[in-house]
Amino acid sequence: MSGNDSLQGFLAAAVDAAKKAGQLIQEKFYQTKHVEHKGEVDLVTETDKACEDLVFSHLKQCFPSHKFIGEETSAAYGTMELTDEPTWIVDPIDGTTNFVHGYPFVCVSIGLTIGKVPTVGVVFNPIIDELFTGIRGQGAYLNGKAIKVSSQDQLIKCLLASETGTSREKSTIDDITGRINRLLFKVRSLRINGSCALSLCDVACGRIDLFYINCYGGPWDAAAGAVILTEAGGLVYDPSGRDFDITATRLAASNPLLKETFVEALAHP
């Protein structure tokens, strides 16, 4: 098997796993959910846990020597260690609050890092049946069709996406809303869809121009979306303009034409 063949094999297995979990999300979406609280507004349901189990068992069967990180296991047990080994990074439902409310922006996000570099990404929204895929060096696709970022270069014509996170600490909220408030004067409009992974894919397919988040929960929010976005010709970077760090909790994303202006706007909103 060549390197490319095995990357295709990794992608195929991740798509199968995402479809299995997606079927469960779809089934449970219109039913009453059993909701637990990790924090005041930080929710988890039995379906989050069941989807993580499904994805893990599928991929572990295919790739027993690989490492695994998942929001509902690693975060809960503090076992998140990202090494150079091939590592599957799984968010079983990104957009749990949306899932609980029946708001149709939910997805399964499955990323594979090799040498800590996001290399394969699958983001599947089973409710509106959108499957985003990407392999490093081999392009990005939405339902099998190649996608690319927007070619917008003027901030005032941009659609900005952001997120409000799950912390309700006053200083965090003041920082998030203050920055969004000031950025709004410089862009066309703002969207907050409740899913970091889907927002990255929205930038990848050009329906959102800019995405900024300084409160994402862990690498599972960004691992798959980062591959898809960069393979669609986009850039993911620290809001300061420095390199993206998958273990941090903040990122900015855009097409290459907007990076400098966006970083400047984020620094001096």
Q: Which residue numbers are catalytic?
A: 71, 91, 93-94, 96, 221
According to the binding rule CB under 6 A, does residue 195 interact with ligand IPD? yes
Which residues from 199-228 bind ligand IPD, rule CB under 6 A?
215-217, 221
Shortest approach of ligand IPD to residue 65 CB, angstroms? Answer: 27
| 174 carries a ligand binding annotation | no
Q: Which is nearer to Ca ion, 7 or 70 (CB)?
A: 70
Distance of CA 93 to the CA centre of its chain: 10
CA 113/CA 213 separation, integer angstroms:
21
Q: Mask: binding to ligand IPD, 146-165, rule CB under 6 A, as x and -?
A: -----------------x-x
Contact stretch for Ca ion (CB under 5 A) within 27-35, 123-131, 213-221, 253-261: 213-221
- Helix crossing, 196-204 with 223-231: angle to 10°? 0
According to the binding rule CB under 6 A, does residue 94 interact with ligand IPD? yes
Listed as own residue / partner, the contacts of 256-264 with beta carbons closer than 8 Å and 24 or more positions apart are 257/151, 257/152, 257/153, 258/152, 258/153, 258/155, 258/158, 258/209, 258/210, 259/235, 261/153, 261/155, 262/155, 262/210, 262/212, 263/237, 263/239
Closest CB to Ca ion: residue number:
94
| 25 carries a ligand binding annotation | no
Q: Which is nearer to ligand IPD, 39 or 115 (CB)?
A: 39
CA 52/CA 90 separation, integer angstroms:
7
Phi, psi (rounded to 5 degrees) for 92: -65, -35
Q: Which of 52, 91, 163, 231 binds Ca ion (CB under 5 A)?
A: 91
Residue with tokens 């909790």: 249
According to the binding rule CB under 6 A, does residue 70 interact with ligand IPD? no
Distance of CA 2 to the CA centre of its chain: 28
Residues in touch with ligand IPD (CB under 6 A): 71, 91, 93-96, 163, 165-166, 194-196, 215-217, 221
Residues in touch with Ca ion (CB under 5 A): 71, 91, 93-94, 96, 221
Specify binding-site residues for Mg(2+).
Answer: 71, 91, 93-94, 221
